[in-house]
Chain A
Amino acid sequence: MLKIDIERPMLTSEGKKNLQICSEIEDRELLCLFGHSGSGKTTLLRILAGLTTPSKGRIIYNDTVWFDSDKKINLSPQLRNVGYMFQDYALFPNMNVEGNIRFAQKKKDNEAIEELLELFDLTALRKQKPVQLSGGQRQRVALARALAAKPNLLLLDEPLSALDFEMRTALQHEIRKAHSLLNTITILVSHDINEVCALATSVLTIKNGKVLAHGRPKDIFSEGTFQNYSQFLSEMTALSELFLGQ
């Protein structure tokens, strides 16, 4: 279980806001962070990975304290063992596909590499450099690399945003595969309501840095959670316009 109770000021296009998240995430959840741009989704992912430090609060993964401002505990990203997939995938250009996956391993394990290459259909591309790959192929390599470290937590920052519709649908399957293989918590950021409904076992909606709702997708995206149906529709229309426009 992952317990989060953090605060951090953030600067958005609409001015200063305070990110204030308090939530508990159960094991094996595939949680989707959903909300407007600038609501604090990526900041939350970075805080969980240890790449950004909250101003106060606590993060506890199972029985390990990752962050506690009162006790001045702040585990480095290296010690948290988190698989983080960046928006730009952050594949190392100097290494080929196999090299990127191998780099992530804590101990050399050729068998595990072969399994990952096969699982994500990368065997034929193993000697290719990232620059020679398509967007979808890069996403698969980034997922395989994140899994190679056998992480406690899988964090995916808008994993499908840079891909076209067909590719997005195909790669949702890869994300589900990665999640079930890891058998732990996966947290992903998405703006696409269809994607959220197709992938997530739970949704955490964030607005202006605060948790708006946390629950199953079908409960969240129902009229009850959003007070009334017209509010839900206006939220979704605003989001669609924002992201379809980009």
Chain B
Amino acid sequence: MDNDFVQTLLLTGKLAGLTTIILLIIGLPLGYWLAYKKFRFKAVVEALISMPLVLPPTVLGFYMLVAYSPQNAIGHFLEDTLNLRLAFSFKGILVASVLFSLPFMVQPLQNGFASIPRSYREASYTLGKSFFTTFTRVLIPNIKPSIITAVAMTFAHCIGEFGVVIMVGGNMPGETRVASIAIYDEVQAMNYDAANKYSFVLFIISMLILTVIYSINGNKKTL
């Protein structure tokens, strides 16, 4: 198996894996907050989180690229203060990927939290348990199917990400060239065999992930 193929798949896995881990850490408190708290402009926050579902990836990619530019305040701050140059780098596509996959993680978690009766939290509090104990021992174990769905959907979505990555990261082997971009690139170069290899791997991974989600959630429902 050639090195480029392996390197591209590893990079794709690394991007999807890191994005999923970061989003799980952000998504659990964010999902809790959206499920239980009422506040002004909640609809605006929910709309912003869900935007990637309807927004063309190139739109988000374009704005991220503009934001990363050292000529703008954010890019200037990142480069001068943190010594970070995000445009056309792995870190840059990772940040973009986290933003773009946010709804795939947050929405199942929010729905999971919302489905838990309020009395579970209140019972835990009256039993003297802290917010943290209630969160980790009562809430999280009871939204396991939602967590599995959120993780798998986020991972699967990241694996196939194209528009945002090509806008923000371009096509740099070993740095920003993920499988979906490699497929496009190979087709452009008329290397259909190579494109087919990438496509087949993505197809199998996506199929496996969805089968796992449906089998786990199906079993939970019949318990």
Contact = CB atoms under 8 A, between A and B. Distances in A.
Interface in B8-34: none
Contact of B127 (A76, A93, A94, A103): A103
Contact of B142 (A49, A92, A106, A149): A92
A103 B137 contact: yes
A78 B128 CA distance: 4
B120 interface: yes
Interface residues of B, number: 18
B126 A49 contact: yes
Contacts of B130: 78
A51 B126 CA distance: 8
B138 interface: yes
Which of A83, A86, A131 neighbours the largest number of chain B CB atoms within 10 Å of its CB? A86
Contact of A149 (B117, B127, B137, B144): B127
B126 A94 contact: no
Interface in A63-86: 76-78, 80-84, 86
B223 interface: yes
**Which secondary structure dominates chain B's binding surface?**
helix
B129 interface: yes
A216 B155 CA distance: 64
A27 B128 CA distance: 22
Contacts, number: 54
Interface in B108-143: 117, 119-120, 122-130, 137-138, 141-142
Contacts of B122: 49, 51, 77, 84, 86, 90
B119 A90 contact: yes
Contacts of A140: none
A204 to B, nearest CB: 21
Interface of A: 49-51, 76-78, 80-84, 86-88, 90, 92-94, 103-104, 106, 131, 145, 149
16 contacts: A49-B122, A49-B126, A50-B125, A50-B126, A51-B122, A78-B126, A83-B126, A84-B123, A86-B119, A88-B117, A88-B119, A90-B122, A92-B124, A94-B141, A103-B127, A149-B128
Which 8 residue pairs of A and B lie closest in terms of their CB atoms, listed nearest first? A90-B119, A90-B123, A94-B141, A77-B125, A84-B126, A86-B119, A104-B127, A77-B126
Given A84-B122, A90-B122, 15 more contacts: A51-B126, A77-B122, A78-B129, A82-B126, A83-B126, A84-B123, A84-B126, A86-B122, A86-B123, A93-B142, A94-B141, A103-B127, A104-B127, A131-B223, A149-B127
